[in-house]
Structure 1
Amino acid sequence: MSVVPPAGPTSGGTTVTLTGSGLSGATAVTFGSAPAAFTVVSDSSLVATTPTGSGTVQVTVTTPGGTSNSLAYTYTAPPAI
């Protein structure tokens, strides 16, 4: 499975694409312990919107077949002004 992009702002709201297999029955996507809104595109792709967060967290997808191996997603702080 992969996550693109692998990083985004701590404020969340980034649209990420998760690709893999068996995703059509996805029931949950989490970034760390925070649930994310998501839409299944196909059996091999879904799109999720990141919740707010910080640091590097593990992204998991839950399907009727179980929970995916986790992938890293890194929240980045906005640049100082």
Structure 2
Amino acid sequence: TSVADQYTFIAAPTITSISPTAGPTTGGTTVTLTGTNLSGATAVTFGGTAATGFTVNSATQITATAPAGSGTVDVRVTTAG
């Protein structure tokens, strides 16, 4: 079997905890996201707004900087999975 006729499923990322869970509406809070399959993250969003920046520390941890916003929002990590 050659590589050209194979397909690889990539596990979707999951977030199991966020710390801290709140910050100022002006943004700038460093938030640690813990979960699984976080390697290769291409985006981190807070309620649809891109994090100011993020670093993939490991397959189970990302550090992201929260953007400005308000209310309670979902945090999402995008990977190839």
Q: Which residue of 2 aligns with 1:24?
A: 39
Map 1:33-48 → 2, pairs under 5 A = 33-36=48-51, 37-48=53-64
Unaligned runs of 5+ residues in structure 1 are 66-81
- Give me the whole-angstrom Cα distance separating, in 1, the residues matched to 2:59 and 2:48: 24
What do you get for the CA RMSD once the two structures are aligned?
Answer: 0.6
- Give me the whole-angstrom Cα distance separating, in 2, the residues matched to 1:33 and 1:18: 16
> How much does 1:30 deviate?
0.2
Map 1:1-81 → 2, pairs under 5 A = 1-36=16-51, 37-65=53-81
Unaligned runs of 5+ residues in structure 2 are 1-15
Q: Which has the larger radius of gyration?
A: 2
State the number of aligned residues: 65
TM normalised by structure 1 equals 0.78
TM normalised by structure 2 equals 0.78
- Give me the whole-angstrom Cα distance separating, in 2, the residues matched to 1:33 and 1:61: 11
- Give me the whole-angstrom Cα distance separating, in 2, the residues matched to 1:26 and 1:19: 13
Q: Deviations over 1:48-78 (max 9, x none)?
A: 000000011110001111xxxxxxxxxxxxx
> How much does 1:31 deviate?
0.3
Moved over 4 A (4+): none
